[in-house]
Amino acid sequence: MTERTLVLIKPDAVARGYVGEILGRVERKGLTISALELRTAPGDIAAAHYAEHEGRPFYPGLLEFITGGPLVAAVLEGPRAIAAFRQLAGGTDPVEKAVPGTIRGDFGLEAQENLVHGSDSVESAEREIALWFPQLAAN
Ligand code: CMP
């Protein structure tokens, strides 16, 4: 079944010049890029996006990081797109969890500056798509 997922190529990955590398992996996997935008995240969108992490020790730093420079927001589509992108990304911690061959495993060192975000469920995907691309909201 075709799914949609919201992906962020985070400011660390943009600053390091990995946008093409990451989108290349997405395309080679067979996922379709149905929306793509370079932007600096406003504080309210960043806070809403990461609302589930409010109260965690890393939350203030995470908001500062994610709003601190341009990022690329994208909507990807394809069969099992949510799991497919999370497979490409690797685990959250680029050293402890992500394995070589994944985006985080190949290019990351820090839990926060972990290059990409991908929605973790259909519900999160629809919530995040509505936040970043209101024109694409389901209804
Ligand atoms: P993401 O998949 O976007 O979801 C939440 C983000 O919080 C995560 O990627 C990291 O950028 C960040 N994060 C998660 N755990 C930690 C941590 N222990 N320390 C700092 N940042 C974290």
Q: What is the pLDDT of residues 31-64, one digit of tens each?
A: 999 999 999 999 999 999 999 999 999 999 999 9
- Measured by CA distance, the residue closest to atom 21 of ligand 1 is 112
Q: Is 122 in the pocket of ligand 1 (CB under 6 A)?
A: no
**pLDDT tens column, 53-102:** 999 999 999 999 999 999 999 999 999 999 999 999 999 999 999 999 99
- Residue 117 among the catalytic residues: yes
Residue with CA nearest ligand 1 atom 5 = 50
Give the tens place of pLDDT for each residue, 8-38: 999 999 999 999 999 999 999 999 999 999 9
CA-angle at 117, arms to 71 and 38, nearest 5° = 20
Is CATH 3.40.50.300 correct for 2-136? no
- Measured in Å, residue 78 CA sits from the centre of ligand 1 at 25
Domain ranges of the chain: 2-136
ipTM for the assembly: 0.97
